Amino acid sequence: MSSSKSNKIVKLESSDNKTFEVEEAVAVQSETLKNMVDDGCANDTIPLPNVNGKILEMVLGWCKKHVDETVTGDELNKYEADFLDLDQADLYGLLMAANFLNVKGLLDRVLQRVADMIKGKKPEEIRRIFNIKNDFTPEEEEEIRLENAWAFD
Amino acid sequence: MQLSYIWILDYKNDERKLGSFISSQSKYREQWMIMKREREEIRPEGPNNCIPKFCFGFSVPEIDKIMEDRLPTNQKSRLKWPQSQAKTLLGIDNALEADLTGRLPVDILSSITSLISLREAATTSILSKRWRYIWRTSSNLDLDAKNMLGHFLYLDHFKRQPTQWKQKQKGRFVRWANHILELYVGKNVDSFRVEYPLGSDHGCDVDRWIQFAIDMQVQKLDINLLDDHLSDLYHDLYKFPYWLFAQAGKRPKIKHLSLNFCSLSIPENYNGLNSLSSLSLKKISLNQENVYNILTSCPSLEWFSISECRCPFRLKLSSGCRSLRLRHLRIFRCEPLERVEIHDAVSVASIEYDAKMFGQVLLKNSAQPVRLCVTLQSDRRTLQSDRRTLQPDPRTQIAYVLGTLAKDFPLVETLLVSTPYAQVDLISKHLTTFTRLKQLKLLGVRFRKILLDLTSAFLEAAPSLVELEMDLHLPCSEDDRIKRQKIIEGADYREHKKIPLKEYCQHQRLKKVELRGFSACPIEFDLAVLLLKNAILLEKMRIVLEITPYLGDGECWVMGLSKTKIEREKILKILGPEVPSTVDLVLV
């Protein structure tokens, strides 16, 4: 096996034209990037038009931390917990990026974070948290409540 | 009459008789009331899934991986200590942002709803038109009373109701479950769980649900039929439809199967279940043939856990000439099982078994486990066996652990000793060294008189020990409560008792100590001080006020704080002066 592979650098460009250079080992934490590397498409800068610079930096930080062998289990847990201390806009951006780049551990964490936000909340509260517009007429809403009456006790 | 007499009668079956006998004898009434209260506080088989569980792992990476794999995605939070609610983010400013979830693709929304309970997910149907049907694609389906009704099924209460009422409830549940499955529009289900008291009279419905799960390529199947019978007479058990898994042309996908209170009898070398990596059986009737068939049909089985199953006196775990891939094996309270032979288990790393089988868990042509968990039992007769033999008493069992266990399993590195109800007054001094033991967990410790002696004995028997964990369930008598008040209020421990530290052995390697279920009983302070002073290289001591009974298979219940309110500052104030400068004391 060629040893030069382990030192290969992958170049990424975010939607706002910021470039990032990371080691291949870090980049392949993303299944999407891994596929590109395996298919030989990673020689030039890879454009990521749907991920902005700020979010991309966060994602790469996560990947770097998970590749670093000097980090202990406890440190990693703390890092992951602090990592998700974000405001909502960033959280969704991260969610979209983790989904697009397919970084499994990160995606699971962010999904859990968002799920925790709505656990135990009434629908009105959830609407407020996510700013969801209620596009049902009162009759339609009543119909749904009846349809799923068992859940609305 | 010793307190131990009370333990002789079987808890489940004779509690009422026992209770009325005891109450009539005023002498024992007080003791009985204390014990009853404690039992109700700490029950290893309480209402299912109602108290947060925590999977603390096996210290064996391959088995930790299986443990993680077995958990449905909506229970992955069990891998972390339950903490206080995540900070709720404030709602965003309406004027500035549009619906952010509007930008998220539907499969992400579906993943999010898979992580909340089915009941809550159903209420998301009302959020907006886009959200209306998303809950019907959840990849985790939990059909149980909590989701149907919003509260747990209190099994003890349910059991005592008239049969007609029970039948009505069951019918209602079945109709609800059928309704949910009819509404389902997703393509895949990762985890499918049924938890309700059902028997063979609803067999057709349960069969249909399992078929549905198979069609949805389920990976984790949990059929938890609760035992709602008051007596132990013959029950018409649901027969698990193993035949549904071998479908022409399709390779079976199911990886984790968990069954409770039904009947399972698969033929030899049955290929429908050959993708199984973990199998958990509870309250199932097993015989030698049955077990052999299971092992031959599941060549990739790495995790096998049987608890409260009816087994013959002897059981041989082998799949003929093929070696077993078992890594984790648990045998808990199976009657009248006395002896287990494990053949050709070349990768077995973790074994959990009951103390009554001491010396009778034999490894033939198998690896030596690095992790062991033994569960001591109270001295009680089993009313299920024909031979009303008295179980070995806890004293003998502790003597075995300290004296002989290390010879039987010389390579053990992690040892858990679980003592849910045992009362021991005296321990023997005969010790055999555990040469490789690094991690020791004493769980459910209720021994007050010999607490310090026992701890010291274990420390002596394990010179290479690095980590010690003790989960204390010490009952506190009135006397103790008074003493404790005095100590806490006076913050004056030194006056209380001088522990003869020189009588207890010192330990040269112990670095980390964790004491859980700390209720500030005087003896617990003694224990903490003993460890602080006698463990020379100690780096960290962690004291946790929560009680966490061990459930087996690497899981414990986080039961929350014990009933007495104890202030952390006071405990720190008391222990503070006793802590050497090299030790970091943390109170959680």
For B522-578, how does the pLDDT look when each residue is reduced to its tens digit (9 = 90+)? 888 888 888 888 888 999 999 888 888 888 899 888 876 655 566 777 788 778 877
Task: For residue B495, name the pLDDT band (cuts at 50, 70, 90).
Answer: low
Task: For residue B361, name the pLDDT band (cuts at 50, 70, 90).
Answer: very high
Looking at residues A114-124, what average pLDDT do you find? Answer: 88
- Of B98, B105, B113, which is closest to A131 when you measure between CB atoms? B98
- Of B87, B126, B150, which is closest to A141 when you measure between CB atoms? B126
- Of A88, A95, A111, which is closest to B89 when you measure between CB atoms? A88
Q: Are A112 and B115 within 8 A, CB to CB? A: yes
Task: For residue B53, name the pLDDT band (cuts at 50, 70, 90).
Answer: confident
Are B374 and B405 a contacting pair, CB within 8 Å?
yes
Q: What percent of chain B has pLDDT over 90?
A: 45
Tell me the range of B75-79, B385-389, B511-515, B561-565 where mean pLDDT is highest. B511-515
Are B180 and B141 a contacting pair, CB within 8 Å?
yes
What is the model's pLDDT at position B556? 86
Structure confidence by residue, pLDDT tens digits, B223-280: 999 988 877 666 789 999 999 998 777 777 899 999 999 999 999 988 889 899 999 9
Cα(B157)–Cα(B137) distance, rounded to whole angstroms? 34
What is the model's pLDDT at position B47? 43
State the nearest Cα–Cα gap between A90 and chain B, in angstroms: 11
Looking at residues B316-322, what average pLDDT do you find? Answer: 90
Which string of DSSP letters, residue by residue, matches B332-391? ES-BS--EEEEESBTT--EEEEEGGGTT-EEEES-PPPSEEEEE---S-B-SSSSS-PBP
Which string of DSSP letters, residue by residue, matches A19-78? EEEEEHHHHTTSHHHHHHHHTT--SSPEE-TTS-HHHHHHHHHHHHHHH-TT--HHHHHH
Structure confidence by residue, pLDDT tens digits, B83-127: 544 444 444 444 345 666 777 888 899 999 999 999 999 999 999
Write the ipTM.
0.89
Mean pLDDT of chain B: 82
Structure confidence by residue, pLDDT tens digits, B292-302: 999 999 999 99
- Of A131, A147, A153, which is closest to B97 when you measure between CB atoms? A131
- Of B85, B97, B104, which is closest to A96 when you measure between CB atoms? B104
What is the model's pLDDT at position B300? 93
B interface residues, A as partner, C-beta within 8 Å? 73-74, 76-77, 80, 85-89, 91-92, 94, 97-105, 108, 111-113, 115-117, 119-120, 122-129, 131-132, 148-150, 176
Query: Chain A residues with CB inside 8 Å of B116's CB?
Result: 115, 118-119
Cα(B402)–Cα(B434) distance, rounded to whole angstroms? 9
- For chain B, say whether A52 makes contact (Cβ under 8 Å): no
Collapsed DSSP state (helix, strand, coil) of residue B227: coil
Looking at residues B67-76, what average pLDDT do you find? Answer: 90
Q: Are B123 and A152 within 8 A, CB to CB? A: yes
What is the model's pLDDT at position A139? 94
Collapsed DSSP state (helix, strand, coil) of residue B540: strand
Task: For residue B393, name the pLDDT band (cuts at 50, 70, 90).
Answer: confident
Structure confidence by residue, pLDDT tens digits, A4-47: 445 788 888 888 888 888 888 888 888 888 888 888 877 888 88
What is the model's pLDDT at position B391? 56
- Of A8-12, B379-383, B511-515, the one with minimum mean pLDDT is B379-383
Residue of A nearest to B118 (CA): A151
Residue of B nearest to A143 (CA): B126
What is the model's pLDDT at position B57? 84
- For chain B, say whether A82 makes contact (Cβ under 8 Å): no
Cis peptide before B336 (omega within 30 of 0): yes
Question: Is the pLDDT confidence value at B451 over 90?
Answer: no
What is the model's pLDDT at position B490? 67
Looking at residues B412-437, what average pLDDT do you find? Answer: 82
Which residues are within 8 A (CB) of B429 and not within 5 positions of it... i.e. 6 or more apart? B457
